[in-house]
């Protein structure tokens, strides 16, 4: 039971950390100063969520474990993040769509997690859901703006959907350790909301797409290894280094 809880908490932490890391790659490269700040803010929100989850996982694990050791000293196969969040930034449209698809899920998931039996996870969820509500609002408006924008922005959004949709199925497939909430039950609601936003954005909802899975079990796309190499470089090269 306890190992399930640890694994599930790590899954939540890893997903937040990896998306935070991806979004942070935009820092200084945003399409316009104000949006550069917006995406970096979201990145920092997610890092804060990741820290809360890692700290809790470290407490549950006990021993020498700390939030840092969990983030910096685990290998690719030990990371349990969703495949969706490790996908590359691509263009602004792809980054927006990745954020939207995830935030829409994370919002519904936090709603459930707020009421779960584990007090600490419930507390982190109720603290984080306000941030997620903003990420959802920000990213869904961008999806509409780009989908229903110019011919080029519309085409880029179609490409982004083609690239990312295949990673959405995994969100609703329960991992062995995922016993606290039933993610499969969120799928219908998620699909309805995404369809509404896509419809406003004049974008089609794909059907019959083969879904890639494995992230929750530690089986990742090749992209995660490169990310961790950069993310963990300092701790790997100078073990125990501190600021």
Partner 1 sequence: MNNFFIKKFFYGDIPEEKGGGSDYQTKHDSTSWPLWEVFIRSKQGLDHKHAGSLHAADAQMAIENARDVYTRRMEGVSIWVVESKYITASNPEEAGELYEPAADKIYRHPTFYQLPDEVNHM
* 138 touches partner 1 (CB under 8 A): yes
CB of 143 to partner 1, least distance (A): 13
Count other C-beta atoms under 10 Å from residue 41's C-beta. 15
Shortest gap between Cβ of 209 and partner 1 (angstroms)? Answer: 31
**Which of 77-107 are b and which e, b meaning 16 or more Cβ less than 10 Å from the residue's Cβ?**
eebbbbbbbbbeebebbbbbbbbbbbbbbbb
Should residue 38 be labelled a site residue for partner 1 when binding is judged by CB under 8 A?
yes
Least CB distance to partner 1 at residue 37 (A): 5
Q: List all residues 6 or more positions away from 242 whose beta carbon is below 8 Å from its beta carbon.
A: none
Q: In the numeric block, which tokens belong to residue 112?
A: 């459930």
Specify the residue, 76 or 141, whose C-beta has the smaller distance to partner 1.
141
Q: Does 154 bind partner 1 (CB under 8 A)?
A: no
Min CB(3)–partner 1 separation in Å: 39
CB of 130 to partner 1, least distance (A): 13
Should residue 117 be labelled a site residue for partner 1 when binding is judged by CB under 8 A? no
Size of the site for partner 1 (CB under 8 A): 12
**Under rule CB under 8 A, residue 34 binds partner 1:** yes
Figure out which of the listed residues 1, 2, 28, 33 binds partner 1, where binding follows CB under 8 A: 33
CA separation for the pair 122, 156 (Å, rounded): 38
Q: How far apart are CA 119 and CA 124, in angstroms?
A: 9
Would you give the distance in Å from CA 73 to the centre of its chain? Answer: 20
SS3 of residue 64 by DSSP: coil
Chain residues binding partner 1 by CB under 8 A are: 32-35, 37-38, 41, 137-138, 141, 145, 150
């Amino acid at each position: 039971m306890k190992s399930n809880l640890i694994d599930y908490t790590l899954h939540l932490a890893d997903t937040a950390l990896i998306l935070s890391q991806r979004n942070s790659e935009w820092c200084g490269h945003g399409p316009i100063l104000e949006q550069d700040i917006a995406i970096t803010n979201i990145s920092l929100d997610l890092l804060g969520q990741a820290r809360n989850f890692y700290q809790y996982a470290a407490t549950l694990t006990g021993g020498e474990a700390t939030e840092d050791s969990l983030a910096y000293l685990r290998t690719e196969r030990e990371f349990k993040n969703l495949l969706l969040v490790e996908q590359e930034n691509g263009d602004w449209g792809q980054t927006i769509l990745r954020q939207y698809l995830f935030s829409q899920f994370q919002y519904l998931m936090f709603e459930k997690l707020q009421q779960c039996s584990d007090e600490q996870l419930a507390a982190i969820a109720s603290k984080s859901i306000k941030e997620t509500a903003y990420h959802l609002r920000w990213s869904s408006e961008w999806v509409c703006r780009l989908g229903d924008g110019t011919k080029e922005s519309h085409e880029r959004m179609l490409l982004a959907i083609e690239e990312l949709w295949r990673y959405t199925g995994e969100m609703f497939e329960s991992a062995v350790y995922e016993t606290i909430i039933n993610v499969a039950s969120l799928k219908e609601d998620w699909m309805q909301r995404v369809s509404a936003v896509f419809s406003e954005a004049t974008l089609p909802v794909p059907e019959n797409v083969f879904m890639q899975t494995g992230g929750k079990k530690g089986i990742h796309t090749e992209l995660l290894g490169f990310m961790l190499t950069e993310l963990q470089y300092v701790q790997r090269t100078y073990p125990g280094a501190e600021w």
